[in-house]
Structure 1
Amino acid sequence: MLLRFFHKIFGTIDFAGYHARNIEASLQILQSYIIMNTFKSSHLSPYSAFGFLPETIRFAQSLRLHVDKNTRDPMDRELRRRIWGHLLFLDVESTIATGLPPIGIHYSAAFSFS
């Protein structure tokens, strides 16, 4: 049942141009995309489980999540930091699972995770 729900929702998400419309909504779309694909990856072999990651990382970069922005809203800053941190985690996890090199995220990113 969950897999059927995943396929229905996944068909409605469109990254192409979405980030140009609304940044807050784009962050929510990015979060849902990560959650759904993490669920999906648990049902696939390691080599195909993380196929969503390069596109997701590019989308996050287009939203400038990899840059430590001084925003007035600390909640927004923390949300961006956590999403980017989770993408770093998924990249390391996929590297461990597949033995392939990291996708190319620079781990010395502008964010400090301390």
Structure 2
Amino acid sequence: MTPTFSIPNIRLFIAFKVFFNSRFYYPVFTILFLDFGLTVAQFSILNAVWAATIVLAEVPSGALADIIGRKQLLVFATSIMIIEIGIISFIPKTDPSIIFIVFLINRVLSGLAEAAA
């Protein structure tokens, strides 16, 4: 019998899950959002959008995994996560409405990545 951790795909999947869930801003998530000038109400809306996106994308992402394969969906989730983190790195702090829209896009992408993963 082959030891479980000697199978390359299992090691890669474990590494994926560890790095996927280690988003750099999660420990200071609320502070980061509020520091950009968002209100607590806006922060709550963004988190509701994130949760709704996950719920709405779970079944379609499962169907997509059946069509294109689980591995391709994980690659998609990783790509979306990189974009999600990347867009908040370049937010201009000059216009509050742009800040909310960028964080809204961030939360939708994060929800899609969670559902796909």
TM class by shorter chain equals: 0.3 to 0.5
Q: Point out which structure has higher relative CO (alpha carbons under 8 A, 6+ apart).
A: 2
Normalised to the residue count of structure 2, the TM-score between the two structures is 0.33
Normalised to the residue count of structure 1, the TM-score between the two structures is 0.33
More helix by share: 2
